[in-house]
Structure formats: structure tokens, C-alpha cells
Amino acid sequence: MSRERLAALHAANAFDAAPLRSVMHRLHVPFDELTGTTGCEHRLLTSVQARHRVALVGISGSGKTSVTESVLGPTVEGLAPIPVSVSVESPDIATHPVAFAGHVVALVRRWVSAGLPREAGRVARLRDRPGATSQRFTIAPSWLGAKLELGTELRQATADEPVSSGERLEQAAQLLAIIEAHDLLPVLVLDDTDRWLNLSWQPDSEAARAAFFGRVVRVLAEDLATAAIVAVHPTYLRDPNYRAAAGFLDTTIRIPALAGPAAVHRVLARRAGLALDEPEDAALSGLLDPGAVALLFEQYRAVPDLRQRILQVMHVALTLAVDERAEVIREGHVRAALTETVIDPD
């Protein structure tokens, strides 16, 4: 029976280290529950509701995106999250306020177009083609689809292409004001800034950080006056360019580290329970050796990267266990997985 349950976990890709955004809020175990405090998810929610611009601090893979998706997810009413991913866009978006504002407008324009009946049908047909995945297409968020009049007003507001820099900033501010007029609080989410300021397409990452924190973040506060969540790598805290932007980031929240093996087990049990459609407190019963969990925690304690040090390793360990038709994922499977897993030391 255990062998079949392990196979079911594997078939369901239960420990996928990079799940779709749309399911992250279900997979996430709140750090507030794991720590018995209110310093993470609860504080983030109250901060954005107060229109704060929040620096969410943690290394890549520590759980910043999962926390954000949990707090701003579809079950939370009154918020309109606007994810602004720039890691695959022009470098200017990270360094020039006008380019950033134009990117926000273009993003909303694509959402509105995808929501129109004719365009939405075309996107659906493309998405359903063999080999297509939902990640290849821009899908309008649920808060936009629930309000027809909002979509119409945003379409009208994005119809004209601004000429001057001031007009671009005004157009972005107008979009946010329209969203708020429909009893929704817009929240700009920049959850890849812990990575994109150091990518190879930024030939001078220090200058990029100076421009982003000195100019773009200032625009978020002074011109757009919007709530925002900005992913911040811990090394940025020592950066004078980041420190200079402190007056424009109202709140700093650090992603807490898991305290021990029990927390690691809880994270894995949530995913196993959803994959097997079982209560999470019983989903891993008899399937995971305590020594395997302890080893996962030791790896995580060295570098608190949930994605690479726990989920990615666990996925490989599960694969190894299934391949040898084992009844339990043991410490040996985790050790073998560590030799096969490329782990970024961050």
C-alpha cells in the first residue's frame, strides 16, 4: 500500500519546487502558523492594507513568493495584486521610472485584452493546443474578471499611447485610481527583484540597484502612491543604494527560517495531503523516515532555501524511492538525491 501511495505522490508531482502561481496559496503553510507569531503573513497583510511599501527580505527560494501569493491570493477580498515581473523584460524597466510605469500600463492592457470575449477565445484556443502550457499566456487576474465595468474603464484608459514621460506616469497612476474606485486596493508585487538586479543582462548591477532603489521605488511612493511588495535579498540591506531608499519603503519583513524537522515535515505534509486528497497530518504516515526529514533540515539550516534544499531534494528522493519500489523514503534516498541535485549556494 505504501508503495502505491508513493507512486501516487510522484505522479501528482507533489513536491514540485516551482508550481504555478495559481496554486501556491493552497500549498503554502503560513510561517505565522509554524512560528506561532504574527510577524510574517499577518504583518504583510496589515501593511499592504495600510498602503505601505513593504520590503520582503529573504534569499531566493526562501518562500517570499509563496508568502505573497498566500496573503494576496484569490481568497482575500478587497485586494488587487499586480505582479510586475521584469526578469524577462528590458533592463530599462528596472532602472527608469517612466519605463517601469509604461510596463505596468502594458501589463494591464494585456490583461484587459485577454479578458475581452474575442481575444479571450483566441488565447484559450492557443492554450489548449497540444504542447501548450498555461504559463505561456498572460491570464487576467480574478479581481479583474469579476468586475465587467472595471475592465471597460481600464480598456479606455489604456487605449491611448502617451507621448511624454509625465503622461506615462499619469496614465499608470490613473489605472491604479480606477482600480481603487471599484473598492479594490491595488498592490504592485515585484517578487523577482532579489534576482534580476544581478543577472547577466545588467552589466553594472550596482548602478542598476542605485537606479531602482533611488528612482523607481521613489516613484512608487511619490507618483503612484501605491501599496507594494518588493522582494529584497538580504545582501541588499548592506547596500548604500538600498539604504538610501529606506524612506520610501515603509515596512521591512524578514522571511523566518523553519525551526526544526517538525516544520519541514509540516511543509511536506501539506503538499502530500493535497496530492493524495488526505488529511495532511496523516498523508505522510509510514511514507517518510524521520532520518530523511532530519537530513533535509540539516541541509536547509545551512542555507534556508525551501525550494532547492527541501522541495527539489525531496522530489528527487521520491523519484529514487519509486524507482526502486521502496515502501518508505529513507535517509539514504535523501543522501543520494543530494548528489544528483545542483544546489545554488546563493
Predicted pLDDT at 333: 97
Q: Which residues of the chain have pLDDT under 70?
A: 1, 86-89, 115-140, 146, 195-204, 342-346
Q: Under CATH, which number does the domain 38-254 receive?
A: 3.40.50
| Other CB atoms within 10 A of residue 192 CB | 20
- In 77-213 the beta strands, taken as DSSP E runs, fall at 79-83, 185-190
**Tell me, what's the pLDDT at 128?**
46
pLDDT the model gives residue 162? 79
CA 20-51-67 angle, 5° bins: 30
Give the pLDDT confidence score for residue 22 in this predicted structure. Answer: 85
Task: Enumerate the domain spans of the chain.
Answer: 2-27+259-340, 38-254
Which pLDDT does position 138 carry in this prediction? 44
pLDDT of residue 118: 45
Prediction pTM value: 0.88
Give CA 81 to chain center in angstroms: 11
Classified as helix, coil or strand, 279 is coil
